[in-house]
Amino acid sequence: MVDASAIVATIASIAHFVILTYSVSPGIGQVFEVAAANAFTGLQAAGGVTEEVIVARAAGSVDRARSNSGLPNRVFSRSCKGKCGTSSPIPGLPCQCHNECVQAGNCCQDFNEHCHSCKNRCGNRFEARSSCQCNSRCHLTRDCCPDFNRVCSSIAGTRPTQRPVFTTTKRTTSIITDDELLTLSNTLLQLDERNPFATPLISLQGKTRSGSQEDLARQPLFGPQTASEAVVSGTSRLIKDLYDNYSPEVNNNEQVTQQHLNEEEAFFQAVLATEPMKRVVALLQSRGLLPTNNRNLESILRTLWFERFSRSRGSLGSSGFEHIFLGEVKNAEPSGFHSWLYFKHQEEAGSLDYLGFIRSAKLSGKASLLELPLKWKGMYKPVNSMFVGTSPELEMALYTLCFYARPEAKCPMNGNSVKFFIQTYPFKSRGKVYLGTAYPTFR
C-alpha cells in the first residue's frame, strides 16, 4: 500500500511542476486541477487510499503550491474573470475563456458575464481580441454584445435589436415577443409528433457533470433500432445522404462535388417545404426579418446554413449545417455535434462513447432535451446538448427562428410546459453572415 504522505508529496510535485511550466498561462490553476485529478485516480488505484484521505491530505499541499507560485488567486479559479481575449484554448481544461469557446461549447459558466459583455466597454473602438463589440456600429456589423442595448443605452439609441441580414430594400422590423416564441415553439413541438420516428429508446444510465470524463454509462445511449425507425422518409432519409460529404477538421478545405451539392439542395428544399419551416418563415417575413421574394429568401437561408466559410487558417472547412448537425474538430477538440440522429449514427459506428447525462427533460410525447458530455473518436467534449426524437426540419426551423428573433441572446422556448432556451451565434466572414452555431440549453 502506498502511504498517503507519498501521494500528497507526489501531488505537490505535480503542482509545482505545472506552476513553473505554465506560469505564463492564465489557466494554470485549471491545468493543475486536471493533472492532480489524474494523479488522484492513478495513485488511489495503486495504493488503495480512499479519495477522502487523498483530498484531505492534499488540500494543504494545493494551498502551499498556490501561495508559493506568487500568482493571484483568480488564476486558479474556474472563472473567466481576468482571462478574456485569449485567441486559442488551453488543452485539457474543463472550461475555456477564449473567443471561440461558444462555438466549441466549452466556455466557463461566467463567460458571458466577463467576456461577452459591454460592462466598462461602451463606445470602445473595434476590439479584435473581443468576442463581441460595444461601439455605435455594432448593430450594422451584427456583432454587438448581448447586453449592448441595456448597458450602453446612451449610444444604442433607438436602433432595433433585431436587424435583417439582407439589405436589398429598407424594411421595418418589429419585435417578436417572448410569448410568441413560447407559443410557437410549443406548437411546433406538438406538430412534430407526426414525424416518422417512434419514440426513441434511450438509456440515460448514470448522472454525471461537466468536466468529468468518468464513464458512468456501460451501455449506448440509444437502444436497438425499431422497425419504424429503420424505414424513414423525407428529411430524415435525405439528411443521412449528407453524412459522408464533410471533413470534420475545420483546417481542411471541403472537397465539394456536384453530387454533394445536389444532395444538399434536395435536403434544403425538402426542409423548406415542411410545415415547421413554413410557419417560422411566415412569422419572420411578417416582421421584416426575411424577404418575401422566394428567390432572395432561398439564397439567404442557403448561405446561412450551407455555404462554406473559414473558422481557421483561411480554409473553407465549415458550414452552419456541418457544425450543428454533424460536428467539427479544431485543435483536437470537438465542437458542434447537436443532432441526435448523427449522435446515434456515430454511436452505432463505434465512433462515439456516451458517458452519462447531466440533465434531461421531456418536451413532448416524442421529444426530449438532453445535456451530456461525450467522447467522439477519443476526443472529449465536457458538455453538449441536443434534442432527441425531433425531426431535422423542426430543429432547423427553431434555430432559424432564434437566429433572427434573438441573435446572440437566449431565445425562450417551451415544450410541454418545460421552459428552455436556444442560443445562436453568427459567424462573419468575407462580408457575409453565417450561422456559427445553434443549440438548445436549459439555462
pLDDT at site 196: 76
| CA pair distance 341, 320, nearest whole angstrom | 17
CB 334 within 8 A of CB 328: yes
| CA pair distance 339, 385, nearest whole angstrom | 9
Residue 104 has a CB neighbour count (10 Å cut-off) of 20
94 vs 33: which has the higher pLDDT: 94
What is the number of residues in the chain?
A: 443
79 vs 167: which has the higher pLDDT: 79
Task: Calculate the alpha carbon distances from 130 to 149, 309, 331 in Å.
Answer: 18, 20, 20
Grid coordinates in use for 213? 470524463
* CA nearest neighbour of 382 among 206, 217, 208, 210: 210
Q: Is 225 helix (H, G, I), strand (E, B) or coil?
A: coil
Element (H, E) at 263: helix 258-272
In the chain, what is the straight-line distance between the N-terminal and C-terminal CA atoms, in Å?
45
Task: Please tell me the number of Cα atoms within 13 Å of 111 on its side-chain side.
Answer: 20
CB 169 within 8 A of CB 290: no
Phi, psi of 357 (to 5 degrees): -115, 155
Q: Specify which of 302-306, 329-333, 427-431 reaches the highest per-range mean pLDDT.
A: 302-306
Grid coordinates in use for 79? 472563472
Catalytic machinery residues = 323, 338, 381
Grid coordinates in use for 279? 410557419
* CA nearest neighbour of 24 among 98, 61, 75: 75
The one-letter code for the residue type at 396 is M
User: Residue 156 pLDDT more than 70?
Assistant: no
* CA nearest neighbour of 441 among 426, 429, 423, 415: 423
pLDDT at site 166: 43
- Region 427-435: mean pLDDT is 85
| CA pair distance 106, 95, nearest whole angstrom | 5
Q: Is 437 helix (H, G, I), strand (E, B) or coil?
A: strand
- Region 1-8: mean pLDDT is 50
| CA pair distance 163, 87, nearest whole angstrom | 28
Q: Specify which of 16-25, 231-240, 248-257, 359-368 reaches the highest per-range mean pLDDT.
A: 359-368
**How sure is the predictor about 54, in pLDDT bands with cuts at 50, 70 and 90?**
very low
> How do residues 202-229 score in pLDDT, each as one tens digit?
999 999 988 889 999 999 999 876 434 5
| pTM for this entry | 0.66
> How do residues 84-141 score in pLDDT, each as one tens digit?
766 566 655 667 887 667 666 678 878 877 888 888 889 888 776 677 788 877 766 6
pLDDT at site 181: 96
- Region 190-194: mean pLDDT is 90
The one-letter code for the residue type at 286 is S
| CA pair distance 314, 325, nearest whole angstrom | 22
Residue 385 has a CB neighbour count (10 Å cut-off) of 20
Q: Tell me how far the alpha carbon of residue 3 is from its chain's centroid.
A: 43
24 vs 67: which has the higher pLDDT: 67
| CA pair distance 39, 18, nearest whole angstrom | 13
User: Residue 75 pLDDT more than 80?
Assistant: no
> How do residues 258-273 score in pLDDT, each as one tens digit?
999 999 999 999 999 9
E strand map for 32-157: none
CB 90 within 8 A of CB 25: yes
pLDDT at site 172: 43
